[in-house]
Amino acid sequence: QSALTQPASVSGSPGQSITISCTGTSSDVGGYNYVSWYQQHPGKAPKLMIYEVSNRPSGVSNRFSGSKSGNTASLTISGLQAEDEADYYCSSYTSSSTHVVFGGGTKLTVL
Amino acid sequence: QVQLQESGPGLVKPSQTLSLTCTVSGGSISSGSYYWSWIRQPAGKGLEWIGRIYTSGSTNYNPSLKSRVTISVDTSKNQFSLKLSSVTAADTAVYYCARESIAVAGTFDYWGQGTLVTVSS
């Protein structure tokens, strides 16, 4: 069982927007602005898409955005494209000795 | 462009020690701005942080694995390594090495391609 809770799957049609939630506690998501989101295509390594809740690394499309409210962080992908179909993982720094916790992952299907 | 590459045996027998090395290129592992971590992912499952090391040799480990994990660094070779002892089938996973910025806790900006380690007799 993962420390952060994500929906197992979401789907959307090309051009639409989707949002993936990531729920933790006040010891991780709610307590720090160190929430990250990763995209993982099958057989590939995770790729950093969002860091510090809402910042995009250089080269990441502005169709990807992040936010946080209380103990829940969210990743929104607008203007869905076929290439966005992948697994998405959230992570957060945690005050526990575990240091960082991950969500269980969400499979995004572009219909 | 920083690149990380894992290497090591793909098959380990139960009760033995898993050993992997991560070679960093395009940047110095001695940079004081980063930690160097190991993360694993069992097939079809989520990610699990194993532990990390700083250039000084200071380490932090996931409490669930701490008794079996050792991470070390060789700055002369720009490498860091993972040893996981007394492995079982539950340790079968893809193992990634990754870079974590000190300024942004818990954020991994560069990852290796991953290496599959299977624990089986």
Indicate the residue type of A51: Y
Interface contact A100-B105, CB threshold 8 A: yes
Residue B54 has pLDDT above 90, yes or no: yes
Closest listed residue to residue B68, CA positions, set B112, B19, B114, B117: B19
Phi, psi dihedrals of residue B100, rounded to the nearest 5°: -120, 125
% of chain B residues with pLDDT over 70: 100
DSSP 8-state secondary structure symbol assigned to residue A5: B
For residue B62, give the nearest of A38, A48, A98 by CB distance. A98
Give the model's pLDDT for residue B45: 93
CB pairs under 8 A between A and B: 66
Which band of pLDDT confidence, cut at 50, 70 and 90, is reported for residue A19? very high
Question: How far apart (Å, rounded) are the C-alpha atoms in residues B32 and B29?
Answer: 8
Residues from B in contact with A at Cβ < 8 Å: 45-49, 52, 60, 62-64, 96, 104-109, 111-114
Which band of pLDDT confidence, cut at 50, 70 and 90, is reported for residue A78? very high
Phi, psi dihedrals of residue B117, rounded to the nearest 5°: -115, 125
Give the model's pLDDT for residue A1: 67
- Range A27-38 average pLDDT: 96
Which band of pLDDT confidence, cut at 50, 70 and 90, is reported for residue B94? very high
What element of type H or E holds B116?
A: strand B115-119
| Chain A, nearest residue to B5 by Cα | A45
Give the model's pLDDT for residue A96: 85
Residue A25 has pLDDT above 90, yes or no: yes
Give the model's pLDDT for residue B31: 82
Residue range A40-71, pLDDT digits in tens: 999 999 999 999 999 999 999 999 999 999 99
Strand partners, B48: B40
| Chain B, nearest residue to A34 by Cα | B105
Question: How far apart (Å, rounded) are the C-alpha atoms in residues B99 and B24?
Answer: 9
